[in-house]
Amino acid sequence: MDEQPQQELPLPFPEFSGDLPLMPARMVNEYQYCPRLAYLEWVQGEWADSVDTVDGRFKHRRVDRPGGKLPPADALDEGDRIHARSITLSSNRLGLIAKMDLIEGDAAAVTPVDYKRGKRPHIAQGAYDPERVQVCVQGLILEEHGYRCAEGMLYYVESKERVRVPLDDELRALTRRAIDGLRFIAAGGQMPPPLEDSPKCPRCSLVGICLPDEVRYLRQGRIEPRPLAVARATALPVYVQAYKARVAKRGETLEISIDDKKVQTARLIDVSELVLMGNVYVTTPTLHELMARGIPISWHSFGGWFMGYTQGTGHKNVELRTAQYRASFDEPTCLRLAKGLVAAKIHNSRTLLRRNWKDDTLDPKHLLDDLKRDQRHCARVDSQQELLGVEGSAAARYFGHFDRLIRASGAEGALSFDFNRRNRRPPADPVNALLSYAYTLLTRAWHVTLGAVGFDPYRGYYHQPRYGRPALALDMMEPFRPLIADSAVIQAINNGEVRPSDFISAAGSVALSPDGRKRFIAAFERRMSHEVTHPLFGYRVSYRRLLEIQARLLSRYLLGDIPDYPNFTTR
């Protein structure tokens, strides 16, 4: 083989100082599989389980039990046999730490044995490079400790086969290059690009975080993204809004009771978040369990006002938060993002009007043209102040005609909602009350999504981070207000899911009754599960999942991975 001589950091490595953590040898394996994977896991602290990782842990469990002894190399006598399980060794010179499944051998030489799930692959070299490299790292660390080591061994659990891996010069060189490469990217702070249309990605547990095809597509506009990131999220929110309800963990489930009577149980594995409205009681063990599982709990007043949320120790991705803050101090970046968000919102508002227009007596053409003009205007503004003005006039146009999307009164079961213009605090009519409530739900959904992706929801680009407002959540939700919230409101009214009798009015303000609220939450969640075709990527995806993809794309933009943040618009 014609090996290109490539630049290498000269060995020996500088000693790792106390400040830098030792890298697990597994990372060298990941690096050899895909440098971006190692970066995501090691530098950004991302983790996601897949069948492979779950099953891998399971298959490993037996070898994880420590057993046998590994005497120091200089204490070994001729005739001593070594058989030691689950031994952790590190090398400061290599900057690596490895947990070795099994070490066998004697005074003459030792062999690290690494357990792999699955069957032995039938390829010329006996095993794939990432696995060969990983066992070679173990060999190198053993040598650092004074043992002699000429080969490693891979044991494939499923086919019960061993594959010898000679630690020859070629493999050692490959391994050193991988170690150098890993140290380089860890120090460099620049995420390696995704693999190109690689068969490795569908098997990669981080594919939904990495977005390899989407990033490639947005960088080069060439390949059609595969729907790898779309995998349906199986967990869904649990809302508790009933008066005097209590939530307690019981085994692997949450039990919700009212007046000491069990009314519902939810399997913890199926819960994506717990939403509590009003005076709901939650036990401490429940809070602990939810935090340990990374399930956020959001707290709302009885009327739905979002008061805050509880989360475990939070996301490890400091790099992302740093990039988020840095960009927020840069005015041109703020303006650029803000323009895109507002333009997309106007676009989506216009689409909603066009699609749901119910009034035959009025042709919406002028209105749609005006909105188109507002949308174009966004691109030309050169301050946030001006942008606010454009947004305001577009919103006035839009809400000025919102009642024409509501099925006329007199239709069976549907009574009329009077609605003239948007008013908020307090909402003065049922439609405004529904809109406000829907925005609260959507803000929460964005808040939780952004937190889970590693953002700080409170620092944004368009909204000012004042008065405890989750500015980034409000920013990101702009284009989705018409698509998710307004649309859920129209559907709930037009389908007769909420009726005028579901509202309680007092002192000039109107609020949803508990029962009406329950039905409206269901309508909202149905909208969140609705699947749309992504205009850029061509695949179908639920809004629920889309929010996460958009949040990740924003992170890719802020970290310099893609040239622009692509807003979501529908046709």
Binding site for other proteins (CB under 8 A): 49-51, 54-55, 57-58, 61, 231-232, 234, 236-242, 245, 251-253, 256, 258, 263-270, 518, 521-522, 525
- Residue 198 interacts with ligand SF4 (CB under 6 A)? yes
Q: Is 194 in the site for ligand SF4 (CB under 6 A)?
A: yes
CB of 230 to other proteins, least distance (A): 8
Which residues share a beta bridge with 515? none
Tell me how far, at minimum, the Cβ of 42 lies from ligand SF4, in Å. Answer: 12
- Of other proteins, ligand SF4, none, which one does residue 335 interact with (CB within 5 to 8 Å by kind)? none
Which residues are annotated binding-site positions for Mn(2+)? Answer: 391, 463, 478
Rg, C-alpha atoms of the chain: 29
CB 61 to other proteins: min, Å = 7
Residue placing its CB nearer to ligand SF4 in the complex, 29 or 569? 29
Which of 182, 185, 195, 338 lies at the binding interface for ligand SF4 (CB under 6 A)?
A: 195
Alpha carbon distance 87, 113 (integer Å)? 11
Answer yes or no whether residue 201 interacts with ligand SF4 by CB under 6 A: yes
Closest separation in Å from C-beta 208 to ligand SF4:
9
Q: Does 206 bind ligand SF4 (CB under 6 A)?
A: yes
Of the listed pieces 62-70, 205-213, 296-304, 373-381, which binds ligand SF4 according to CB under 6 A? 205-213
Q: What are phi and psi of 309, to 5 degrees?
A: -145, 160
Q: What amino acid occupies position 266? A: A
Q: Are strands 261-267 and 253-258 parallel, antiparallel or unpaired?
A: antiparallel
Distance separating alpha carbons of residues 288 and 340, to the nearest angstrom: 40
The three-state secondary structure class of 524 is helix
Q: What residues pair up with 302 in beta bridges, in sequence order?
A: none
Binding residues for ligand SF4 restricted to 40-99, rule: CB under 6 A: 40
| Cα–Cα distance for residue pair 473/554, rounded to 1 Å | 12
**Helix 384-400 and helix 365-380: axis angle, to 10°?**
170
| Token reading at 225 | 């993204």
Place of tokens 């040898």: 25
269 makes contact, choosing from ligand SF4, other proteins, none, with CB < 5 to 8 Å by partner type, with other proteins
Binding flag, residue 200, ligand SF4 (CB under 6 A): yes
d(CA 318, CA 44): 7
Measured from the CB atom, the residue of 185 and 242 that comes closer to other proteins is: 242
Distance CA 503, CA 526 (A): 21
The item of other proteins, ligand SF4, none sharing an interface with residue 195, based on CB under 5 to 8 Å by kind, is ligand SF4
CA-to-CA separations, 269 to 178, 272, 275, 294, in angstroms, rounded: 37, 8, 16, 11
Cα 304 to chain centroid distance, Å, stands at 25
Which range of residues in 34-42, 74-82, 387-395, 512-520 is near ligand SF4 by CB under 6 A? 34-42
Which residue, 142 or 242, has its beta carbon nearer to other proteins?
A: 242
Interaction partner, residue 194 (other proteins, ligand SF4, none; CB < 5-8 Å by kind): ligand SF4
With CB under 5 to 8 Å by kind, the binding choice for 210 among ligand SF4, other proteins, none is: ligand SF4
What is the distance between the alpha carbons of residues 103 and 112, in angstroms, rounded to a whole number?
Answer: 5
Shorter beta-carbon distance to ligand SF4: residue 217 or 399: 217
Q: Total residues at the site for ligand SF4 (CB under 6 A)?
A: 14
> What does the chain come to in residues?
571
Can you tell me which of 97, 204, 471, 521 binds ligand SF4, judged by CB under 6 A? 204
Encoding tokens for residue 333?
A: 């970046």
Closest contact distance (angstroms) between CB of 326 and ligand SF4 is: 24
Pairing of strands 236-240, 245-250: unpaired
Burial class (CB in 10 A: 0-12, 13-18, 19+), 407: middle
Judged by CB under 6 A, the stretch of 30-38, 163-171, 300-308, 326-334 that binds ligand SF4 is 30-38
Query: 198 vs 423, which CB is nearer to ligand SF4?
Result: 198
State the DSSP string of 279-303. Answer: S-EE-HHHHHHHHHTT--EEEE-TT
Residue 242 binds which of ligand SF4, other proteins, none (CB < 5-8 A, kind-dependent): other proteins
Name which of 57 and 376 has its Cβ closer to other proteins. Answer: 57
User: What are the DSSP E strand ranges found in 435-525?
Assistant: 503-506, 509-512
Q: Does 352 bind ligand SF4 (CB under 6 A)?
A: no
Q: Out of ligand SF4, other proteins, none, which partner does residue 200 contact, by CB within 5 to 8 A per kind?
A: ligand SF4
> Which of 89, 210, 297, 474 is the binder for ligand SF4 (CB under 6 A)?
210
Separation CA 557–CA 549 (nearest Å): 12
Instruction: Verify binding: residue 225, ligand SF4, rule CB under 6 A.
Output: no
SS3 267: strand
Identify the three-state secondary structure at position 307. strand
In the bound state with ligand SF4, the residue whose beta carbon lies nearer, of 527 and 545, is 545
Provide, rounded to whole angstroms, the least separation between the CB of residue 205 and other proteins: 9
What is the distance between the alpha carbons of residues 486 and 498, in angstroms, rounded to a whole number? 14
Residue 245: name its binding partner from ligand SF4, other proteins, none (Cβ under 5 to 8 Å by kind).
Answer: other proteins
34 is a contact residue toward ligand SF4 (CB under 6 A): yes
Contacted by 198, from ligand SF4, other proteins, none: CB < 5 to 8 Å by type: ligand SF4
CB of 46 to ligand SF4, least distance (A): 9
Q: Which is nearer to ligand SF4, 194 or 304 (CB)?
A: 194
Q: Which of 367, 396, 397, 391 is nearest to 378 (CA)?
A: 391
Residue 92: CB atoms within 10 Å? 16
CA 135/CA 154 separation, integer angstroms:
8
Distance CA 198, CA 520 (A): 43
- Catalogue the E-assigned strands of 96-150: 96-106, 110-116
**Residues near ligand SF4 (CB under 6 A):** 34, 36-37, 40, 194-195, 198, 200-201, 204, 206-207, 210, 212
